[in-house]
Amino acid sequence: MSMHLYGYMPSGKVFDNDRNIKKSHVIRRVLSEEKKYLPLLILSFLLAVSTVTFTLLLPIRIGNAIDMICERDFSSVFYRCLIHCAILALLAGISQYLMNLINNHVVYNSVLHIREAAFLRLQKFPLSYIDSHAGGDLLSRLTSDAEQFADGLLMGFTQLFTGVITIAGTLIFMFSMNVAITLIVVVVTPLSIFVARFISKHTYDMFRVQSAQRGEQTALADEMLSNAKVVKAYGQEEKVLRDFDRINDELQKSSLKALFFSSLTNPSTRFVNNIVYALVACIGAVAVYTESSVLFGSLSVGILTAFLSYANQYMKPFNDITSVITELQNAIACAARVFEVIDDETFENETDAPLEMPVVSGDVELDHIDFSYIKGQDLIRDLNVCVKNGMKVAIVGPTGCGKTTLINLLMRFYDPDAGKILIDQTDIASYTLNDSRRLFGMVLQDTWLFDGTVRENILFGKPDATEEEMIEAAKLSHAHSFIRRLKDGYDTQIGEDGEMLSQGQRQLLCITRLMLNKPPMLILDEATSSIDTRTEIRIQQAFRTLMENKTAFIVAHRLSTIRDADLILVMKGGTIIEQGTHESLMKQNGFYAELYRLA
């Protein structure tokens, strides 16, 4: 079970200052991502100008048509006016359609690159980072948070451009029609802006909490689905359901709080805007009725209709922009969680000037190694091991003694706190991580296969292998016979984590992958634990062939399987307390002999 079940949840490492700094940092990052699309954004802005221009010209032509109807003037001018209205509506629609196409392209390509950057960063994280963060939470950042960010950004581009231009355009048209009434509209408008700003100020933190709890819920669901058999085997469905309900209730409360608070924006601004609209309608009606007013001048029915249309269009963007601001608060909160992954400064320990990897013979030395997963809680202390080329080294000991940790250090999944690991007298840290890890081929007790074909899974470690090499490796691992019996042979889809295969068949495919790769050194951690005895004997023979003249480290729980090892390391409490051959250790009658007799 992951650390999430023990109450551990990751905390951000980048955005740990006050809210304004966090928010401004994210906004700068988003703007920097959009720089590469500047030409398209300029084109989108121009199309927004075109859309608004055609839309704003329409009410004037409609107003002219209304005045002609009032005067019962149905001449050719009237019909030309109607044709102009149709053309303006068509051009506005085409401009808006093209603008939306460009905005979709910009937004979804931006999110595509951000997702790629986050996923690439996950590939570069050390194993310690992955171990200390809930997998479902990381998954939520890459999927739902990125999707929420895309939705908010798209709404921002689509409505922000047109909204700002509409406000400016309608003001120009209204001032040209009636200065006094327009001034009344402008004076009342700041009240709408003040209401929207007051509400939106408080929504960012609420959406931030909502995103974090959504990630926690995804983490729990992912963990429980991955371990469904364990949950059912121990009858813990009710406990898991209670945990899920608790998180779900918290998410519901935070979501309702964020959405309720943010949803106040639109009706509040609409209320203010409706007051403005009603005020303009009343004043305009007075001006039309009196035909002339010292304060408000004169208006025709058609002009009043156009003015009311402009007043409505002028106020509508304030509603849209406040909605956009609310969505952007959510988008920025989600983007912050994605950027936390991208900006995290936890790196694998690569050397600045790596040596070129030579052909290694396989001498391995662990020189005064100290290591701990948690600072202050030592696990391995002053570990010293010297292994010569071609030796078969078995590592035994009770649970938690450091066997798997030793393998992690050899594979450089973790680096020692002190001491060196030497390969042919050269510090392994002098090579790149990829070169270091290619030295070892590893088969673990826990198999890993991905959703694909048998062929793709076998070739994962050596994509350029030929068909003949692949089949030969499968024959060596005794997997060829069962593969041939599958529906499509090597092209059979095996499902996620090889769910279409038995546990033993999965392990045979992992062993086949190792046989194909033929690494200089081997690490076997109970590699045949899920295989029947008859097949295990055959695979052990294949391993002996594969391990000829190669150094091999074998983690064993069944001590009977490592009696012929050249060296047995007996670990306890993070140190090697005994080492030697099976015979010599039995003669010592120490801890190994006790373990062997109890096995």
Residue 429: alpha-carbon gap to chain centroid:
30
CA–CA separation, 60 vs 173, rounded Å?
Answer: 9
Residue 398 belongs to domain spanning: 364-598
Q: Does 120 score more than 60 pLDDT?
A: yes
SS (H, E, C) 303-326: HHHHHHHHHHHHHHHHHHHHHHHH
- Strand 418-423 versus strand 364-371 pairing type: antiparallel
- The domain that contains 318 carries what CATH number? 1.20.1560.10
CA–CA separation, 309 vs 595, rounded Å?
Answer: 89
CB atoms < 10 A from the CB of 70, how many? 11
3-class DSSP assignment, residue 166: helix
Confidence of residue 17 (pLDDT cuts 50, 70, 90): very low
In a domain, 356, yes or no: no
Considering the chain, what percentage of its residues have pLDDT values greater than 90?
3
| 19-33, 449-463, 549-563, range with the lowest pLDDT | 19-33
Mean of pLDDT values over 66-79:
70
Backbone angles phi, psi at 387, to 5 degrees: -120, 130
**Pair 39, 133 in one domain:** yes
CA–CA separation, 541 vs 535, rounded Å?
Answer: 10
Interacting residues of 134 by C-beta distance below 8 A, sequence separation 6+: 2, 3, 4, 8, 9, 10, 215, 216, 219, 223
The confidence score (pLDDT) of residue 85 equals 84
The DSSP secondary structure of 60-89, one letter per residue, reads: HHHHHHHHHHHTT--SHHHHHHHHHHHHHH
Higher pLDDT, 269 or 493: 493
Confidence of residue 571 (pLDDT cuts 50, 70, 90): confident
Q: Does 14 score more than 50 pLDDT?
A: no
3-class DSSP assignment, residue 563: coil
Strand partners, 369: 383
**Pair 244, 318 in one domain:** yes
In a domain, 229, yes or no: yes
Q: What is the pLDDT of residues 278-324, one digit of tens each?
A: 777 676 666 656 655 444 555 666 677 777 777 777 777 776 666 67
Ranges assigned E (strand) in 341-445: 364-371, 380-387, 392-396, 418-423, 426-427, 440-443
The confidence score (pLDDT) of residue 471 equals 92
In a domain, 264, yes or no: yes
Mean of pLDDT values over 66-90:
77
Question: 279, 311, 343 — which closes off a domain?
Answer: 343
Span between the terminal Cα atoms of the chain, in Å: 27
CA–CA separation, 510 vs 517, rounded Å?
Answer: 11
Q: Does 535 score more than 80 pLDDT?
A: no
In a domain, 190, yes or no: yes
Q: Does 182 score more than 80 pLDDT?
A: no
CB atoms < 10 A from the CB of 116, how many? 11
CA–CA separation, 142 vs 145, rounded Å?
Answer: 6
| 212-221, 373-382, 457-466, 539-548, range with the lowest pLDDT | 539-548
CA–CA separation, 563 vs 581, rounded Å?
Answer: 8
CA–CA separation, 78 vs 302, rounded Å?
Answer: 13
The confidence score (pLDDT) of residue 4 equals 33
**Pair 236, 312 in one domain:** yes
Q: What is the pLDDT of residues 467-483, one digit of tens each?
A: 999 999 898 888 898 89
In a domain, 325, yes or no: yes
The confidence score (pLDDT) of residue 21 equals 42
> Residue 464, exposed/middle/buried by CB under 10 A (0-12, 13-18, 19+)?
exposed
How far lies 173's CA from each of 58, 168, 332, 359, 415, in Å?
12, 9, 35, 79, 70
In a domain, 7, yes or no: no
Strand order in the sheet with 392-396: 440-443, 521-525, 551-555, 392-396, 567-572, 575-580
Backbone angles phi, psi at 427, to 5 degrees: -60, 125
**Pair 439, 564 in one domain:** yes
Contact assessment for residue 553 and residue 533, using Cβ atoms and an 8 Å cutoff: no
CB atoms < 10 A from the CB of 429, how many? 18
Token pair of 572 as six digits:
């306890």
**Pair 339, 368 in one domain:** no
Q: What is the pLDDT of residues 393-417, one digit of tens each?
A: 988 888 778 788 888 888 888 888 8
Rg (CA), the chain: 35
Question: 277, 312, 343 — which closes off a domain?
Answer: 343
Tell which residue, 336, 331, 334, has the closest CA to residue 159: 331
The confidence score (pLDDT) of residue 10 equals 34
Number of folded domains that form the chain: 2
**Pair 370, 334 in one domain:** no
Best-predicted range by mean pLDDT among 3-7, 90-94, 458-462?
Answer: 90-94
**Pair 379, 319 in one domain:** no
Look over the chain and give the mean of its residue pLDDT values, rounded to a whole number.
78
**Pair 189, 122 in one domain:** yes
**Pair 151, 60 in one domain:** yes
Higher pLDDT, 73 or 77: 77
Tell which residue, 98, 81, 7, has the closest CA to residue 45: 98
Amino acid at 495: G
Contact assessment for residue 120 and residue 190, using Cβ atoms and an 8 Å cutoff: no
Interacting residues of 529 by C-beta distance below 8 A, sequence separation 6+: 445, 507, 557
Contact assessment for residue 315 and residue 163, using Cβ atoms and an 8 Å cutoff: no
Mean of pLDDT values over 583-596:
89
